[in-house]
Amino acid sequence: MTGRDGGAPIAPIDPSPIVILVRPQLADNIGSVARAMANGGLFHLRLVAPRDGWPQDRAWRMASGADRILEAATVYDDVPSAIADLHHVMATCPRPRHVVKPVMTARGAAMELREICTRGLKTGILFGPERAGLDNDDMACADALVRYPLNPAFMSLNLSQAVMVMAYEWWMAIDGSPPRELMTNETHVATKGELENFLTHLIAELDSCGFLRNLPKRPGMVRNIRHLFQRGEVTEQELRTLHGVVAELAHGRRQNGRIET
Amino acid sequence: MTGRDGGAPIAPIDPSPIVILVRPQLADNIGSVARAMANGGLFHLRLVAPRDGWPQDRAWRMASGADRILEAATVYDDVPSAIADLHHVMATCPRPRHVVKPVMTARGAAMELREICTRGLKTGILFGPERAGLDNDDMACADALVRYPLNPAFMSLNLSQAVMVMAYEWWMAIDGSPPRELMTNETHVATKGELENFLTHLIAELDSCGFLRNLPKRPGMVRNIRHLFQRGEVTEQELRTLHGVVAELAHGRRQNGRIET
> Per residue in A134-178, pLDDT tens?
998 999 899 999 999 999 899 889 999 999 999 999 999 988 888
Percent of chain A with pLDDT over 90: 67
Do the Cβ atoms of B102 and A149 come within 8 Å? Answer: no
Query: Measured between CB atoms, which of B38, B101, B149 is closest to A154?
Result: B38
For residues A50-69, average pLDDT: 96
Residue-range definition of the domain harbouring residue A243: 192-255
* Residue A68 and residue A36 share a domain: yes
* Residue B223 and residue B161 share a domain: no
Q: What is the pLDDT of residue A24?
A: 98
Q: Is the pLDDT assigned to residue B188 strictly greater than 90?
A: no
Query: Measured between CB atoms, which of B102, B147, B168 is closest to A165?
Result: B168
> Per residue in B49-104, pLDDT tens?
999 999 999 999 999 999 999 999 999 999 999 999 999 999 998 766 777 788 99
* Residue B148 and residue B54 share a domain: yes
CA dist B142 → A169, B22, B30, B125, B221 (Å): 26, 13, 22, 9, 67
Nearest C-alpha of chain B: how many angstroms from A209? 31
**Which of A132-136, B28-32, B178-182 has the weakest average pLDDT?**
B178-182
Neighbours of B12 (CB within 10 A): 13
Do the Cβ atoms of B96 and A183 come within 8 Å? Answer: yes
Nearest C-alpha of chain A: how many angstroms from B156? 7
| Cα–Cα distance, A21 to A159 (Å, whole number) | 9
Q: What is the pLDDT of residue B257?
A: 61
The answer to whether residue B11 sits within a structural domain is no
Do the Cβ atoms of A100 and B32 come within 8 Å? Answer: no
Residue A4: pLDDT band with limits 50, 70, 90: very low
* Residue A108 and residue A25 share a domain: yes
Chain A interface mutation, best of B70, B90, B165, highest count of A Cβ atoms under 10 Å: B165
The answer to whether residue A233 sits within a structural domain is yes
Q: What is the pLDDT of residue B6?
A: 45
Do the Cβ atoms of B154 and A108 come within 8 Å? Answer: no
Do the Cβ atoms of A178 and B148 come within 8 Å? Answer: no
Q: What is the DSSP letter of A18?
A: E
The answer to whether residue B208 sits within a structural domain is yes
A91 bridge partner residues:
A126, A145
Query: Measured between CB atoms, which of B32, B164, B187 is closest to A165?
Result: B164
Burial A210-229 (b: 16+ CB within 10 A, else e): eebeeeeeeeeebeebeeeb
Give the type of residue at A167.
A
On chain B, the residues whose CB falls within 8 A of the CB of A65 are 154, 156
**Closest residue in A to B186 (Cα–Cα):** A98
* Residue A155 and residue A55 share a domain: yes
Q: What is the mean pLDDT of chain B?
A: 89
The answer to whether residue A182 sits within a structural domain is no
* Residue A23 and residue A95 share a domain: yes
**Closest residue in A to B173 (Cα–Cα):** A149
A103 bridge partner residues:
A145, B181
* Residue B243 and residue B118 share a domain: no
Query: Measured between CB atoms, which of B158, B175, B180 is closest to A104?
Result: B180
Q: What is the pLDDT of residue B2?
A: 32
Nearest C-alpha of chain A: how many angstroms from B77? 29
Its ipTM equals 0.85
Chain-centroid distance of CA B59 in Å reads: 24
* Residue B66 and residue B168 share a domain: yes
| Cα–Cα distance, B75 to B47 (Å, whole number) | 5
The answer to whether residue A38 sits within a structural domain is yes
Tell me which residue of B22, B35, B102 sits closest to B63, measured CA to CA.
B35
On chain A, the residues whose CB falls within 8 A of the CB of B148 are 168
Query: Measured between CB atoms, which of A39, A112, A154 is closest to B150?
Result: A39
* Residue B87 and residue B36 share a domain: yes
Question: Angle at CA A209, nearest 5°, toward A206 and A212?
Answer: 50
Do the Cβ atoms of A108 and B151 come within 8 Å? Answer: no
The answer to whether residue A136 sits within a structural domain is yes
Nearest C-alpha of chain B: how many angstroms from A187? 8
Residue finishing a domain among B144, B172, B200: B172
> N- to C-terminal Cα distance for chain B?
78
> Length of chain B, please?
261
Burial class (CB in 10 A: 0-12, 13-18, 19+), B156: middle
* Residue A149 and residue A233 share a domain: no
On chain B, the residues whose CB falls within 8 A of the CB of A60 are none
**Residue A122 falls in which region: left (phi positive, over 0), alpha (psi -120 to 50) or beta:** beta
For residues A207-223, average pLDDT: 93
Q: What is the pLDDT of residue A258?
A: 55
The answer to whether residue A181 sits within a structural domain is no
Do the Cβ atoms of A156 and B102 come within 8 Å? Answer: no
Question: Angle at CA A83, nearest 5°, toward A82 and A88?
Answer: 160
Chain A interface mutation, best of B161, B163, B166, B182, highest count of A Cβ atoms under 10 Å: B161
Q: What is the DSSP string of A51-70?
A: TT-S--HHHHHHSTT-HHHH
Percent of chain B with pLDDT over 70: 92
Q: What is the pLDDT of residue A15?
A: 83
Nearest C-alpha of chain B: how many angstroms from A101? 6
| Cα–Cα distance, A91 to A82 (Å, whole number) | 13
**Residue A210 falls in which region: left (phi positive, over 0), alpha (psi -120 to 50) or beta:** left
**Residue B151 falls in which region: left (phi positive, over 0), alpha (psi -120 to 50) or beta:** beta
CA dist A91 → A134, A136, A236 (Å): 8, 11, 52
* Residue B215 and residue B89 share a domain: no
> N- to C-terminal Cα distance for chain A?
78
Nearest C-alpha of chain B: how many angstroms from A49? 25
Q: What is the pLDDT of residue A13?
A: 54
Which residues, in sequence order, are CB contacts of A196 under 8 Å at separation 6+? none
The answer to whether residue A202 sits within a structural domain is yes
Do the Cβ atoms of A107 and B183 come within 8 Å? Answer: no
Tell me the count of A-B CB pairs closer than 8 A.
179
Do the Cβ atoms of A97 and B185 come within 8 Å? Answer: yes
Do the Cβ atoms of B183 and A99 come within 8 Å? Answer: yes
Query: Measured between CB atoms, which of A65, A97, A237 is closest to B156?
Result: A65
Alpha-carbon dihedral A77, A81, A83, A84, rounded to 10 degrees = -170
Residue finishing a domain among A139, A172, A205: A172
CATH of the domain at B60: 3.40.1280.10
Confirm if A201 and A153 have CB atoms less than 8 A apart: no
* Residue B130 and residue B64 share a domain: yes
Residue finishing a domain among A144, A172, A200: A172
On chain B, the residues whose CB falls within 8 A of the CB of A177 are 105, 147, 149
Query: Looking at the 3D structure of chain B, how many domains does it have?
Result: 2
Chain A interface mutation, best of B69, B147, B151, B170, highest count of A Cβ atoms under 10 Å: B151
